Amino acid sequence: MNDREHHAVYVISVFAEIAGVHPQTLRNYERSGLLSPQRTSGGSRRFSEADLAALRRIQDLTNEGVNLEGVKRIMKLEGEVARLHEEATTRTHEAQSSLAETHRQYRRDLVPIQNTIAVFLDSRRRSRGGAK
């Protein structure tokens, strides 16, 4: 999500109306740890588009019959899966970059064979020559 989606702009009454829930429901979700709205310096709640997405997920899960504790666990696991997926993607990109750099290094270190002079000595001739 981008910064705009996390920019908290909605007061609780407007957010509740947009979401189609009672403000008390939002307070309950906050108390249970399902929502974490930002607070102004005066302590008022401010909700963002990311909060709206989280609320939609809560609604989907509760409509499927999941209780709030189950919703909390599912959302925590979904967050962990998303974090791990992002980490795996980052590590994959790092590995690909490292591999590409290694291949670039090989190209710098290897000398084309047509530009080299190779001297081959017959080991039998050398040993006989050294004995004479």
Say what the pLDDT of residue 105 is. Answer: 81
Query: Residue 30: which of 14, 17, 47 has the closest Cα?
Result: 47
Say what the pLDDT of residue 52 is. Answer: 95
Say what the pLDDT of residue 8 is. Answer: 82
Say what the pLDDT of residue 98 is. Answer: 94
Say what the pLDDT of residue 74 is. Answer: 97
What's the CA gap between 35 and 15, in Å, rounded? 12
Which residues, given as ranges, of the chain have pLDDT below 70?
1-3, 109-118, 123-132
CA distances from 7 to 3, 23, 35, 85, 110 (A): 6, 20, 15, 24, 53
Say what the pLDDT of residue 62 is. Answer: 95
Structure-block tokens of residue 49 = 């588009």
What's the CA gap between 20 and 13, in Å, rounded? 10
Structural domains in the chain, CATH included, are 3-109 (1.10.1660.10)
